[in-house]
Structure 1
């Protein structure tokens, strides 16, 4: 109308709070205001119209993305993992599809693999081990096992062409591929 536009929200209180609907109202208002500010012949994708307020943008883009952490520089990744496993052994460490392992179980299986790699394959410092497995819980076990044995792993995707895998094995001089 001449006085503007009116909007009345009807919503399920089991699904939404009044605060959530008020926020949705503000977001829609911001989009409609930006839409009204366009020239009559101007076209713009709806995704290009502003929906969030400046504080909301700051929260999403800056505050929530400030995930920097300082790590000890003299501790290896598998040693940090072992500390976490000792501190929270029953917490879930990894989930892949339907498979979940606690820190205790993941650490046990990685230690078992590390022992096998050391004893039966001589893996230790300066040993490269090819890791050619799908993304899985087993991949995490293999990474930790190789590191715990003292070696380093060379990631190889199983879906690489055979020629590429053969080149990687030869180039890295791998004597062992998991």
Structure 2
């Protein structure tokens, strides 16, 4: 009964959030007896069964035949409903069994199996002694399957041990990977890709330009506003290698927000590419990453040595990001 009441409550509460004008569509076809929409059925049957002689044990579960099963015609159910869930409660044995009937014209067999597994997971939580003692509401029960829980734990386990040094900086680890796998694919987007060696070259060119022409110093905030591209990765690593603090700006933000964020960070310039170079006013210096690569010659060994001599420690700030600012002024988080 608690399950039925909860389903009824959820269904009623979700009506006000419905953006699909189902009733309006149905009113336009008053003469149609069966609509081309999903018909669902939920029924709860309680019965008494005195005949337990034919009980069958399957593992730790007892399968008890019910007399009502002979009265149910599955073909008739599917003619009326495209999806039906029947829950049968044996009052004598205090056992609960469920039957799901679904039209394979509308549902994939694998989808129906997953629905059944989620229902089993929910019922197992609701009727085990541990959860019963806690009197846990149904809406707080988890519908995640065991393999999904394991997958989520794996995705949330973001700790990575780096073999080179536990106190290395981000760009140090990047160079370490370049030394180990120079010809392996480092970054890929659509039909574009760069190996570790190629990526390092572009990063060093941009880093040296920031140092030589724009004279950035360690700890200086450098903003970057680019679309998702190879240039985004190059810009991030170049700012880190030059000793700057990376600050991403979203190209989807309006100009007044971009201007406010650059003012708040006191950034002297913004790295852009051809899709975002018109996002900023004339009072903000926008540096086109692509033009730097087109106009730059090969670096000498002295330039590489200068990049290597920049003093950066793992205690220095690597990046800052801003909150959405929906409740006030955007706040920076490092």
**Same fold flag (TM > 0.5):** yes
Structure 1 residues 84 and 168: alpha-carbon distance in aligned structure 2, compared to 1, 3 A threshold: same
Q: Which has the higher helix share?
A: 1
Structure 1 residues 174 and 33: alpha-carbon distance in aligned structure 2, compared to 1, 3 A threshold: closer
| 2:159 is aligned with 1:68 | yes
**Distance in 1 separating the partners of 2:196 and 2:254:** 34
**Distance in 2 separating the partners of 1:126 and 1:63:** 34
| 2:189 is aligned with 1:96 | yes
Structure 1 residues 68 and 172: alpha-carbon distance in aligned structure 2, compared to 1, 3 A threshold: closer
Structure 1 residues 32 and 58: alpha-carbon distance in aligned structure 2, compared to 1, 3 A threshold: closer
> 1:28·1:51 contact (CA, 8 Å) conserved in 2?
no
List alignment gaps of at least 5 residues for structure 1: 6-22, 38-47
> 2:119·2:143 contact (CA, 8 Å) conserved in 1?
no
- Structure 1 length normalisation: TM-score? 0.67
> 2:216·2:242 contact (CA, 8 Å) conserved in 1?
yes
Query: What is the RMSD of the two structures over their aligned residues, measured on CA atoms?
Result: 3.6
**Distance in 1 separating the partners of 2:263 and 2:240:** 21
- Higher RCO (CA < 8 A, seq sep 6+): 1
- Provide the residue aligned with 2:210 in structure 1: 117
Q: Which secondary structure state, in structure 2, belongs to the residue aligned with residue 94 of structure 1? A: strand
Matched ranges for 1:152-163 at <5 A: 152-163=245-256
| 2:270 is aligned with 1:171 | no
Structure 1 residues 169 and 87: alpha-carbon distance in aligned structure 2, compared to 1, 3 A threshold: same
- Structure 2 length normalisation: TM-score? 0.38
Q: Which secondary structure state, in structure 1, belongs to the residue aligned with residue 269 of structure 2? A: coil
Larger-gyration structure (1/2):
2
Name which of structure 1's ranges 61-70 and 90-99 shifts more when overlaid on structure 2: 61-70
**Distance in 1 separating the partners of 2:240 and 2:142:** 49
Number of matched residues? 152
